[in-house]
Structure 1
Amino acid sequence: MLQGCLNGSRTKSFHPATPCTPEELARDAEASVRAGAEELHIHPRGADGAESLTPDDIGRALLAVRGRVPGIPIGVSTRWPIRPGGRARQADIRGWEILPDYVSVNLVEEDASEVIGLALSKGVGIEAGVWSVADADRLVRLPEAERCLRVLIEINEQDEAEARAVAEGILAVLDRAGIALPRLLHGYEATKWPICRMALARGLDSRIGLEDGAHLPSGERAADNAGLLRAARQLASAAG
């Protein structure tokens, strides 16, 4: 499975094609699905352009995107810094009426188990975000671990050898614990393409998009998310 991560916390100063408003997300989602995305991960914004988890902002973004790509699973981030930040953001999540198909929850955050339980109580799937071996250890000890949709292995290291070593360590923890959940493996910036190739070689899901970086495997700057997704599909075809 190839997921499109359309914006993250990026702004148009990072790349002018970064989608921010519901309308921009909807247009970009349609182009990304045509380019090969099978799922989408988005960070909705408020009217001021800041990341938001309020029911209104989440609902507007989801309705706009679903109007363009019906049937495509859509996930949103619950990361700790999104306003109002910290545990206070749980009140917004609790108030959601229009629900994403899944949310990503970072195990490194102190209320991860609470957010996982809250999302599950609303019938929302969980991408358990694991950045390190320590995060993987936390995940395998959670009673809710096997109820998650997948493990989202997020590699932030910028040295390729170090990035691969961290990924191998996380995978080893999951294997030893017998965690049979699907695994989505992706890198960030300098390591996004090496880790994408690692995911392909392992038969794992992956993701690509402006959230993780703007450059193509050639080093050229991509025009948009669709260009990044087409490049990932070409890598997958070349890898057989």
Structure 2
Amino acid sequence: MLQVCPNGPLDHSVPLSPDQLAVSARDAVVAGAEDIHLHPKGPDGADSLEPDHVAAAVRAVRTAAPGIRVGVTTGAWACPDPRRRLDLVASWKVLPDHASVNWHEEGAELVADALLDHGVAIEAGIFSGTDAARRFLAWPSRHRVLRVLAEVVDTDPETAPATAAALLAELEPNERPVLLHGEQGGAWPVLRLAASLGLDTRIGLEDTMLLPDGSEALDNASLVRAARSIFFEHAGSR
């Protein structure tokens, strides 16, 4: 499965408004994306967990890409106070299909429990270089998550694949599907590793603004097309 992450905790050069997200998501799905991970934004361009902002982004993308699962972030950068983050999640009226919860962040288990109570599936974000894997594996409801996001924050293209392999080892034993991805300089090397292992992965302007050849990506669709080409290469070699 190839997920597109069309924006992130950035304030420029990425789709920001619901309408911009809708167009970008539609084009990415046409290019081959099978799932969408969004960062809803407020008027200032910053990530927001406010119910109106989440609803506007989710509705717009669902209309533009019907039948595709849509997820959102619950990153602490959008709301550092874990109790407030919990209250915001509980106040959502338009529910995404899934939401990512970063397990190294304070209050991750509480936010995850609230999402499950709300009927929202969970992507468990496990960042390399943190204690997230240990905390996640100790969580009694870990078997209920939709998938594990193995998130490699090592941006060195030479070392990121080894960091990814070490992170996957930290996650054993794990009963749920794994989506492995990198970022910046590590985005394409880690995506190639995921493709070679037959794992789900993701790509988009949240993770990198460059194509595999180092040229600037025009949009999310161009990144998705490049990722699909890598998938086909590895599928043919297996």
TM class by shorter-chain length?
over 0.9
**Counterpart residue type for residue 28 of structure 1:** S
Structure 1 unaligned spans of 5+: none
Give the match's secondary structure for 2:214: coil
Q: Distance in 2 between matches of 1:8 and 1:155?
A: 16
- Find the counterpart in structure 2 of residue 190 from structure 1: 185
Q: Among the aligned pairs, what percent are the same residue?
A: 45
Q: Distance in 2 between matches of 1:225 and 1:85?
A: 31
**Counterpart residue type for residue 140 of structure 1:** L
Q: Distance in 2 between matches of 1:142 and 1:84?
A: 21
Does residue 38 of structure 2 align to residue 4 of structure 1?
A: no
- Find the counterpart in structure 2 of residue 172 from structure 1: 169
Does residue 54 of structure 2 align to residue 58 of structure 1?
A: yes
Shift of 1:163: 2.1
Alignment of 1:1-240 (within 5 A): 1-12=1-12, 15=13, 18-83=14-79, 85-132=81-128, 134-175=131-172, 177=173, 179-240=174-235
Shift of 1:215: 0.3
Deviations 1:98-127 (A, max 9, x none): 000001100110111001101000010110
Give the match's secondary structure for 1:41: strand
Shift of 1:135: 1.4
**Counterpart residue type for residue 94 of structure 1:** A
Structure-2 change in CA distance of 1:85 and 1:43 (3 Å)? farther
**Counterpart residue type for residue 74 of structure 1:** V
Q: Distance in 2 between matches of 1:174 and 1:51?
A: 28
Give the match's secondary structure for 1:81: helix
The 8 Å contact of residues 10 and 46 in structure 2, kept in 1 or not, is answered as no
Deviations 1:51-71 (A, max 9, x none): 111111111111111111111
Normalising by structure 1, report the TM-score. Answer: 0.94
Normalising by structure 2, report the TM-score. Answer: 0.94
The 8 Å contact of residues 70 and 97 in structure 2, kept in 1 or not, is answered as yes
Q: Distance in 1 between matches of 2:165 and 2:108?
A: 23
Structure 2 unaligned spans of 5+: none
Shift of 1:10: 1.8
Shift of 1:25: 0.5
Shift of 1:237: 1.2
The number of aligned residues is 234
Q: Distance in 1 between matches of 2:97 and 2:155?
A: 30
Give the match's secondary structure for 2:131: helix
Q: Distance in 1 between matches of 2:164 and 2:4?
A: 20
Give the match's secondary structure for 1:207: strand
